Amino acid sequence: MKFHETPWTELKNVDKASTLLLFPVGSCEQHGPHLPTFTDSLEAQAVAEGVESRMADRVMLLPTLWVGASEHHLPFGGTLTVRTETHIALLTELLRPLLADGYRRLLILNAHGGNTDTIHVALRRLQQEFPEVLLTGAGFWALAAKELEALCESPQDGPWHAGEVETSLIKTIRPDLVREAELVDCDRPLPEVLRGLYISRDMAQSTQDGFLGYPAQGTAKKGEKFLEASVTRAVEVCEELLTMDLPRVRTPKTD
């Protein structure tokens, strides 16, 4: 089911307790000289629509939230963003009416790394208001990390910004938007000793070109495989979320 294509008279009759809300979230930000600024939102929508097509009777697909927390891309220009607190407020305020209306299971499907923290905070705030709702979120790349890594042919092993994975996906989703003449590689991985470390810096401090990884190795054929792997994993997660017990309010023991 697609929320934005359904009349309210039908939406009110949805069995909300047994339906999973699926909320794709992306961004509109620079993606190097070869990919469109809407890359993340195109990816979020493609994966989410793939899930809905396989689970139409059990998933309520919301419209893609295309604006993200992308201030770290502003040095390049070509970026639409909101502040961190604004993005948290957008997420919570858009979801609050639906949770109050009776939906009890939620997955925010993210396609932009800069949204990770805002999604976590938004879910924590909503959990305080709706403690008996199953509130979850993840990047599609995180859900399918093993599958994407196995499919990558470059040393990238995942969807670095505008690299092999994202270039391949856009070649599949919207090939007309890829600038083939601009496809070059940009190998700037962290030293192995720093694996797992978070470094706070904007994209211009990481790359002068606006991308990381190996976009020249991206192909539409790979994109089909990356998309299929991402959708399949997201479906597996959604299936599991629909069978999980809902959280119960518990009162801590007191002496």
**Is the residue at 254 inside a domain?**
no
Of residues 95, 166, 101, the one with CA closest to residue 137: 95
CA distances from 46 to 55, 61, 71, 96, 246 (A): 14, 12, 24, 25, 28
Lowest mean pLDDT of 6-15, 90-99, 152-161, 207-216, name the range.
152-161
pTM passes above 0.85: yes
DSSP conformation class of 61? E
Is residue 110 left, alpha or beta, with left meaning phi > 0 and alpha meaning psi from -120 to 50? Answer: beta
Query: Given pLDDT bands bounded at 50, 70 and 90, which one contains residue 234?
Result: very high
Does the pLDDT at position 249 exceed 90? no
Note the pLDDT tens digit of each residue in 38-76.
999 999 999 999 999 999 999 999 999 999 999 999 999
- What is the predicted pLDDT for the residue at 187? 65
> DSSP letters of 140-163?
HHHHTHHHHHHH--STT-S--TTS
Neighbours of 148 (CB within 10 A): 23
Q: Which domain holds residue 127?
A: 3-243
Angle CA(188)–CA(191)–CA(197) in degrees, nearest 5?
100
**Is the residue at 39 inside a domain?**
yes
- What is the predicted pLDDT for the residue at 188? 67
Looking at the structure of the chain, the number of domains it has is 1
Note the pLDDT tens digit of each residue in 71-86.
999 999 999 999 999 9
Higher local confidence (pLDDT), 185 or 253: 185
Note the pLDDT tens digit of each residue in 182-212.
999 876 666 778 778 888 888 888 888 888 8
SS3 110: strand
**Is the residue at 251 inside a domain?**
no
**Is the residue at 83 inside a domain?**
yes
Contact assessment for residue 141 and residue 230, using Cβ atoms and an 8 Å cutoff: yes
CATH of the domain at 8: 3.40.50.10310
**Is the residue at 23 inside a domain?**
yes
- What is the predicted pLDDT for the residue at 207? 82
